[in-house]
Amino acid sequence: MTAAESPSEVVARLRATFRTGRTRSLDWRTGQLTRLRDLLTESGDELADALHADLGKSRGESYRSEIDFTVREIDHTLERLAGWLEPEPAPVPAVLAGASAQTVQDPLGVVLVIAPWNYPVQLLLAPVAGALAAGNTVVAKPSELAPATSAAVARLVPRYLDTDAVAVVEGAVPETTALLAERFDHIFYTGNGTVGRIVMAAAAKHLTPVTLELGGKSPAFVDRGTDLRTVASRLVSGKFLNAGQTCVAPDYVLTDRETAPALAKALAEAVEERFGTDPSTSAEYGRIVNERHFDRLVRLLDSGRTVTGGVHDRGTKYIAPTVLADVSPNDPVMAEEIFGPVLPVLTVDGLDAAIGFINDRDKPLALYAFTTDPEVRERLLTETSSGGVGMGLPLAHLTVSDLPFGGVGESGMGNYHGRYSLETFSHRKAVLDTPLG
């Protein structure tokens, strides 16, 4: 988007491009995906610098969780896109003997992708890659709460991608509101449920389909008799990545009363092992995105008993990796998605109580289970509802491109990654061919 263009002019320009038909060809799609890959590999350091400025992310974390993650997603798509686009035959009934039936993937048109601030590269460009793979034109709206990354993306995208098919629109609430007033053919939003409802209401005026990637309080259940050192190490790695500002991070831990004290101790040891005695000096530990979120998180620290952490500094937006024990379901830390480096441990009277506790709350984006008991695994899988399930390792299911990523209920609707991105940004069109002769 140029400075002189309004949102309506941007959408009109991209729609005119789509109507030429040039975005439909496999060559155009793979060409744009290749150029997007080039952007990430050639300008990765520029993006990493921006991520450090916005979130204190280390270069290693920026590449692992954002830049290389998106490159792998593009590579997976490039390798398989031609096959995914092949028409799929369908059987026809005997009364239509001689006819043939198939489905084809039809591009939708002009897509709007609205990204959040916590993974402002990955959660913008991975959906954009899916929209381009499906043959659409795209308006990309980066988060204003990650201003350095937003500016970097706005500089880089026009250098690499077809500027008549992909536009970056920067700005805050007024610019997003103006975009949502336009008619799109699909809106893909990642963020919180409050804004998700605003997006959905705006989309309803044009009957525009939406994908909502939201969040929620993702539970982790730790069964008795598990290797607590391993469990704690994996929970700490998943929870405190990006200073806990991850939509699928374990939000709280459920375990039995006998296991809880040893687990709390193991978690404290795992924090020190990963980040040292003073995490504020660790190059691998980030910062809270802004003072508003910092203040919100500090108010949660009074819940339960602090096992480790609790230290914070508003000037640097630092909150230490914190583990809370003896937490009550009524404590402030359990009233909302934490979205920060605070991990509460709650006790329940066994598996039945854990399942009831989870089911009494909104459906989470993810559920994590640490158990060696096949029956416990099966019951958690079949008796709870969540966007995804990770047995034995948090967050890792996101890295499997052949798995759909998305929520259910309050944690979102729709999904993407790999072929599921193509399905999201396409219309599966039914075609019946009946000979005239």
Check if the beta carbon of residue 297 is closer than 8 Å to that of residue 343: no
Closest C-alpha among 37, 45, 39 to residue 79 = 37
Q: Is 337 a catalytic residue?
A: no
Residue 247 a catalytic site member? yes
Q: How far apart are the C-alpha atoms of 142 and 116, rounded to whole Å?
A: 7
Q: Catalytic: which of 66, 73, 182, 213?
A: 213
230/250 Cα distance (integer angstroms) = 15
Give whole-number Cα distances, 135 to 10, 105, 106, 132, in Å. 18, 10, 8, 5
Taken in order 169, 170, 176, 178, the sign of the CA dihedral is: negative
What is the Cα–Cα distance from 45 to 35, expressed in whole angstroms?
Answer: 17
Asked if 5 and 163 count as a contact pair (C-beta separation under 8 A), the reply is: no
Of the candidates 61, 73, 247, 423, the residue annotated as catalytic is 247
Q: 110-114 and 137-141 as β-strands: parallel, antiparallel, unpaired?
A: parallel
> 150 and 143 in contact (C-beta within 8 Å)?
yes
Active site residues: 213, 247
